[in-house]
Amino acid sequence: MALQYIDRRGTDSSKWDGMGSMFGNPDLLAMWVADMDFKEAACITEALKDFIDRAAFGYHEPGDGYFQSFIDWQKKHFNYDIKREWICFSPGIVPAFNWVVWWATEPGDSVILLTPVYYPMIDAINKNGRKLIQCDLVREGMHYSIDFEKFEKNIVDNNVKLFIMSSPHNPVGRVYSADELRRLMEICRKHDVLVISDEIHQDFVFGDRKHIPTATLGDYDEFMITMTAPSKTFNIAGLQNSMVIIPDPKLRARWNSFQYRIHMKGGNSFGFIAAEAAYKGGQEWLDEVKAQIYSNFEYVRDTFAKEIPDVKVADLEGTYLLWMDFGKWFKTQEEVKVFFQDKCGIALDYGEWFGGEDYVPFVRMNLATSHEIVDKAVQIIIREIKKL
């Protein structure tokens, strides 16, 4: 199976055709939002074609195959035994954690994040009238770790009600150990903090690291919700299908009650069909994608180390998003923007988005694309840095 790169310009791609509204320039090299430039696995295309040929497009009720394909995937890859009744639907992880913010907290309540972190989590707190508590990860070089004492103190001092966790951690690429995850959960249990574990990048882990679903590490069901999706793994975000795993009946009843109130119980039929096909037949495709991503990472890391060694590059333990520090040259958001957009012509996610001013010199690069695109971006950055 040969991995196929797709030129997505002119296909109404948010990543490529949405740069005008996001960056003010539609002609940049798109290496920002986290989706891929690879054609989906053949099993997905075939399943959707078959569905189109045989079905009317009325309301959809997912069948046993949809649920069992996900249950089997989680068991095989993560030894996570999930029961069908635990699986709740959301069109995406972002609406899912926003909904939990709405029904699990009140305006003014404190919600804690380990920053830098995926910026829609920050928005979910700020834009819904909750109080954002940032617990910055501890940085040593480009390795990030958790300050557990600070995390607990922040919870106590601010009477935190909810913790939204990114695992693997976007954007710094950390894959947390079992010990790290248990320590976080025990602190949350001690102080009655509800936990959302966003594990959408679970299938992108590299080297000797292993993703461990937090829910499998202890008796955490009464205060924990896990969220994941085939969208990141198989590049089907446009089909809007995500899984929210809620083992506790009381928490699940609150989720269901909220969904009934907003009339968001069902989803897109194409999303259900694609998800089932992907989990059943997409493994070989995923293996090729991961090999391409890690090869891209090694190329960026090694080329920058040789040509512009003052660029600091985080190790890619997990995700396909590379976190880099250009603090040697840039101190303000405007300097970063002028360099990458105006001089390099590249669209990247800016560090400030992930936690404020402390992260201004950083950028996040999407590696889920062809080597040619990565090489072009790397060579442009090297050329322009050497001019400074």
Which pLDDT does position 1 carry in this prediction? 63
How far apart CA 109 and CA 384 sit, in angstroms, is: 45
Per-residue pLDDT 10s for the chain (388 aa) are 679 999 999 999 999 999 999 999 999 999 999 999 999 999 999 999 999 999 889 999 999 999 999 999 999 999 999 999 999 999 999 999 999 999 999 999 999 999 999 999 999 999 999 999 999 999 999 999 999 999 999 999 999 999 999 999 999 999 999 999 999 999 999 999 999 999 999 999 999 999 999 999 999 999 999 999 999 999 999 999 999 999 999 999 999 999 999 998 889 999 999 999 999 999 999 999 999 999 999 999 999 999 999 999 999 999 999 999 999 999 999 999 999 999 999 999 999 999 999 999 999 999 999 999 999 999 999 999 999 9
3-state secondary structure of 129: coil
How far apart CA 167 and CA 173 sit, in angstroms, is: 9
Tokens of residue 97, six digits = 């954690």
Q: Which fold has domain 57-281?
A: Aspartate Aminotransferase; domain 2 (3.40.640)
* pLDDT tens column, 273-308: 999 999 999 999 999 999 999 999 999 999 999 999
- CA torsion through residues 324, 330, 333, 339, sign: negative
Domain boundaries, the chain: 14-30+284-385, 57-281
Ramachandran angles phi, psi of 243, nearest 5°: -110, 130
How far apart CA 255 and CA 328 sit, in angstroms, is: 47
Task: Give CA angle at 226 (220, 228), nearest 5°.
Answer: 155
Which pLDDT does position 55 carry in this prediction? 82
Contact call for residues 274 and 230 (beta carbons, < 8 A): yes
Amino acid of residue 303: T
* pLDDT tens column, 196-240: 999 999 999 999 999 999 999 999 999 999 999 999 999 999 999
Tokens of residue 157, six digits = 């001092």
Q: Give 14-30+284-385's CATH code, choosing from 3.30.930.10, 3.20.20.70, 3.90.78.10, 3.90.1150.10.
A: 3.90.1150.10
Contact call for residues 210 and 175 (beta carbons, < 8 A): yes
Contact call for residues 287 and 252 (beta carbons, < 8 A): no
Amino acid of residue 177: S
Tokens of residue 140, six digits = 């040593």
pTM of the model: 0.97
Sheet containing strand 160-166, edge to edge, reads: 87-90, 242-245, 224-228, 194-198, 160-166, 110-115, 131-136
Which pLDDT does position 56 carry in this prediction? 87
